Amino acid sequence: MSSIESVLTETRIFAPRDAFRQAATVSGIEGYEALCNAAEQDYAGFWADLARQEIDWQTPFTEILDESNAPFYRWFADGRLNASYNCLDRHLATHAEKIALIFEADDRTVTNITYRKLHQRVCRFANALKTQGIGLGDRVIIYLPMGIEAIVAMQACARIGAIHSVVFGGFSAKSLHERIVDVGARLVITADAGMRGGKAVTLKTAVDEALNQGGCEAVEKVIVYQRTGIDITWNKDRDLWWHEIEAAESDTCEPVWVDAEHPLFILYTSGSTGTPKGVQHSTGGYLLGAIMSMKWVFDHQDSDIFWCTADVGWITGHSYVAYGPLAIGSTQVVFEGIPTYPDAGRFWQMIERHKVSIFYTAPTAIRSLIKLGGDLPTQYDLSSLRLLGTVGEPINPEAWMWYHTVVGQERCPIADTWWQTETGAHMIAPLPGAIDLKPGSCTRPLPGIIMDIVEENGTPIEGTGGGLLVVKKPWPSMIRNIWNNPERFKKSYFPEELKGLYLAGDSAHRDSDGYFWIMGRIDDVLNVSGHRLGTMEIESALVANPLVAEAAIVGRPHDIKGESIVAYVVLKGARPEGESAKAIAAQLRDWVGKEIGPIAKPDEIRFGENLPKTRSGKIMRRLLRSLAKGEEITSDISTLDNPAILEQLKQSAS
């Protein structure tokens, strides 16, 4: 929706500035088109050449794309490599002393770590993992705050062929438990707590709670990084201090060479139904996607200081913190804290302090910072910036223009990057030295990424009409499977009606210049502050509360978060009113916080004696969405079994 408004409200086009274009990795529209043509002429050959050029293989591949068991595609399958070797070892000969990570803690303390030092830390920790009996194919849960250790833990797993599954620190013990069980983890790596906005946020307590719930018998050990020194409960048969177990280890560790298709990681994300899905990524293809997008979309050069503000608990933090920047030998900023602490100038101050040249964040953060201090950036020296990026949700033209003029000082192109947990890397995004920008559009697909817009039966939509966003050909960094659930993988992403096309789950339209405009999800997935949440997950959490008989969740457009969560709840007892409704709403909100995590707490709860249903018992969500927006219901409600309920559901309890 916001994209349609974008077309209406901002029609200016921003061409790459000459100086930028001339120095860019891919220069001018001819450069972009040449790459696209090369991919069109020899699709497999195009990706194979890049894979040979950009990745160091221990055993070169001879097979490129294996489609024999589609949609379980395989790329470079007989090649062997190691992701950690590609992110660390291969840089040591030429730039061991280059800074890999500039870590700024919540309290502004800065720790710089070179490639040599990071390599040593990863090796030492990888050896410690081996001493604990962790090896090829074992699953390791990482539940850590943002920081050097999170990256070390991920890289160390990759080094020994263990498969990591990072769980965002904001998820509850219950969510953590679900993931530990589903992935069959043997080890959990956590910290006593993380620091956010001057406060310690406990993590180890959630691990204890998760492991006490049963079903996690495969977890033999818990490694605890001491970040804050707060008191924690200690299980001496199970818990190990990070600093103690690595102290005696050597700082060299031979990488374990794995097949290109060996899973590098599993990352859980929400779908429209059921529990979160364990998105399984490969090693070779994934790494290639991360590398190419760093070069093409971020136009990354040796002298750049790169900063992606995402937490490693999300895919953005995997591809553009833990793997992509290291694989190309970048110097990157890693940030522990939050954008509003100690004040809303924190991002701008950090850009000035570390001379950040490429800055990548979410529209939500931009919108909230505009609100808190639209002219704050002008108090800082942002002249180091040369490129800006956004991710996670559509960016509205107002926010785009502010980002462009106030932060980018009209000098920096903005890369609006469309992609997903499942795609592994950017899919539609401008190559900034080649493509003219239109605020609100993620522009055109990357070279070698073949996208289309189709009707529900898979027929391509000609012209500029809206439809389902699909990918027409398998690409190297694509999802390989849903962990333990190949049937769900096929059903979710390759439904029969689409005859082999990858279904992204978004709707979009394409303008007459071939630019893509994302319109939003087509399923029951919400995008709240750039975080993906399934309505059914929140409904299940609510229904698990002993007071609740039934619940329905809908999204409502929100100025800052993009979407906010509105819950309609039917209690087992009488419908509460007044103070009692307020109190129960507060209680239910906390409940959801504990069941899933604070990000899933409904912004508003409305109580009804029932929900609007058709005679066959189907909840009419369309009506609930309209009610949430405060719209008058003018549409046909003749199929509604209980029209009187609508009046009741207009009222908010909270």
CA–CA gap between residue 11 and residue 559 (Å, rounded): 21
Which residue's CB atom is positioned nearest to ligand PRX? 421
Q: Does 517 bind ligand PRX (CB under 6 A)?
A: no
Q: Nearer Cβ to ligand PRX, position 263 or 276?
A: 276
Q: Does 2 bind ligand PRX (CB under 6 A)?
A: no
Q: Which residues pair with 566 in a beta bridge?
A: 554, 604
Size of the site for ligand PRX (CB under 6 A): 21
Q: Nearer Cβ to ligand PRX, position 395 or 623?
A: 395
Q: Nearer Cβ to ligand PRX, position 318 or 473?
A: 318
CA–CA gap between residue 148 and residue 131 (Å, rounded): 21
- In which region does residue 260 sit, left (phi positive, over 0), alpha (psi from -120 to 50) or beta (all else)? alpha
Q: Which residues pair with 332 in a beta bridge?
A: 101, 306
565, 600 in Cβ contact below 8 A? Answer: yes
The Cα-based distances of 75 to 44, 50, 62, 365, 512 in angstroms read 9, 13, 10, 36, 34
CA–CA gap between residue 289 and residue 265 (Å, rounded): 14
The Cα-based distances of 71 to 149, 170, 265, 481, 493 in angstroms read 36, 33, 19, 9, 9
Residue 621 Cβ, how far from ligand PRX at the closest point, in Å?
A: 18
CA–CA gap between residue 51 and residue 59 (Å, rounded): 12
Q: Nearer Cβ to ligand PRX, position 61 or 483?
A: 483
Residue 483 annotated as binding? no
Q: Nearer Cβ to ligand PRX, position 298 or 419?
A: 419
Residue 384 annotated as binding? no
CA–CA gap between residue 36 and residue 53 (Å, rounded): 18
The Cα-based distances of 128 to 166, 236, 241, 247, 494 in angstroms read 19, 18, 11, 9, 41
Residue 518 Cβ, how far from ligand PRX at the closest point, in Å?
A: 4
Residue 363 Cβ, how far from ligand PRX at the closest point, in Å?
A: 8
Residue 543 annotated as binding? yes
CA–CA gap between residue 366 and residue 270 (Å, rounded): 24
Residue 407 annotated as binding? no
Residue 420 Cβ, how far from ligand PRX at the closest point, in Å?
A: 4
Virtual CA dihedral for 392, 344, 225, 327, nearest 10 degrees? Answer: 50
Binding mask 405-434 for ligand PRX (x = CB under 6 A): -----------xxxxxx-------------
Phi, psi of 279 (to 5 degrees): -75, 120
Segment contacting ligand PRX by CB under 6 A, of 140-148, 164-172, 372-380, 390-398? 390-398
Residue 444 annotated as binding? no
Question: H-helix or E-strand containing 552?
Answer: strand 548-558
Q: Nearer Cβ to ligand PRX, position 101 or 315?
A: 315
Two tokens, residue 100: 């890999």
Q: Nearer Cβ to ligand PRX, position 192 or 563?
A: 563
Q: Does 6 bind ligand PRX (CB under 6 A)?
A: no
Residue 393 annotated as binding? yes
Residue 307 Cβ, how far from ligand PRX at the closest point, in Å?
A: 16
Residue 150 Cβ, how far from ligand PRX at the closest point, in Å?
A: 18
Give the CA radius of gyration of the chain.
24
66, 73 in Cβ contact below 8 A? Answer: yes
Residue 530 Cβ, how far from ligand PRX at the closest point, in Å?
A: 6
Residue 352 Cβ, how far from ligand PRX at the closest point, in Å?
A: 26
CA–CA gap between residue 630 and residue 635 (Å, rounded): 14
Binding mask 526-545 for ligand PRX (x = CB under 6 A): -x----x-------------
Helix/strand/coil (H/E/C) assignment for every residue in 338-355? CCCCCCCCHHHHHHHHHC
Residue 608 annotated as binding? no
CA–CA gap between residue 1 and residue 11 (Å, rounded): 16
Residue 215 annotated as binding? no
Residue 266 Cβ, how far from ligand PRX at the closest point, in Å?
A: 14
Q: Give the count of beta carbons closer than 10 Å to the beta carbon of residue 541.
A: 27
Asked whether the CA dihedral 64, 268, 618, 467 is positive or negative, the reply is negative
Alpha helices in 269-389 (DSSP H): 284-296, 315-317, 324-327, 346-354, 363-373
Q: Nearer Cβ to ligand PRX, position 416 or 539?
A: 416
Q: Nearer Cβ to ligand PRX, position 302 or 511?
A: 511
Interacting residues with ligand PRX between 437 and 466 (CB under 6 A): 442
Residue 537 annotated as binding? no
Picking from 211, 217, 215, the residue whose alpha carbon sits closest to that of residue 233 is 211
* Member of 518, 566, 599, 624 binding ligand PRX (CB under 6 A): 518
Q: Does 286 bind ligand PRX (CB under 6 A)?
A: no
Q: Which residues pair with 110 in a beta bridge?
A: 104
Q: Does 268 bind ligand PRX (CB under 6 A)?
A: no
Two tokens, residue 219: 């977890």
* Member of 170, 317, 394, 534 binding ligand PRX (CB under 6 A): 394
Picking from 517, 32, 77, the residue whose alpha carbon sits closest to that of residue 40 is 32
Segment contacting ligand PRX by CB under 6 A, of 108-116, 128-136, 210-218, 386-394? 386-394
Asked whether the CA dihedral 447, 453, 456, 459 is positive or negative, the reply is negative
Q: Does 348 bind ligand PRX (CB under 6 A)?
A: no
596, 171 in Cβ contact below 8 A? Answer: yes
Q: Nearer Cβ to ligand PRX, position 526 or 571?
A: 526
Residue 524 annotated as binding? no
Residue 535 annotated as binding? no
Segment contacting ligand PRX by CB under 6 A, of 45-53, 209-217, 252-260, 392-400? 392-400
Largest CA distance in the chain: 74
Residue 419 annotated as binding? yes
Residue 420 annotated as binding? yes
Residue 622 annotated as binding? no
Q: Which residues pair with 550 in a beta bridge?
A: 570
CA–CA gap between residue 477 and residue 387 (Å, rounded): 24
Residue 423 annotated as binding? no
Q: Does 315 bind ligand PRX (CB under 6 A)?
A: yes
Residue 418 Cβ, how far from ligand PRX at the closest point, in Å?
A: 4
Binding mask 467-506 for ligand PRX (x = CB under 6 A): -------------------------------------xxx
Residue 21 annotated as binding? no
Q: Does 266 bind ligand PRX (CB under 6 A)?
A: no
Q: Which residues line the annotated binding site for Mg(2+)?
A: 543, 548
* Contact footprint for ligand PRX (CB under 6 A): 269, 315-316, 391-394, 416-421, 442, 504-506, 518, 521, 527, 532
Q: Which residues line the annotated binding site for CoA?
A: 196-199, 316, 529
Q: Which residues line the annotated binding site?
A: 196-199, 316, 392-394, 416-421, 506, 521, 529, 532, 543, 548
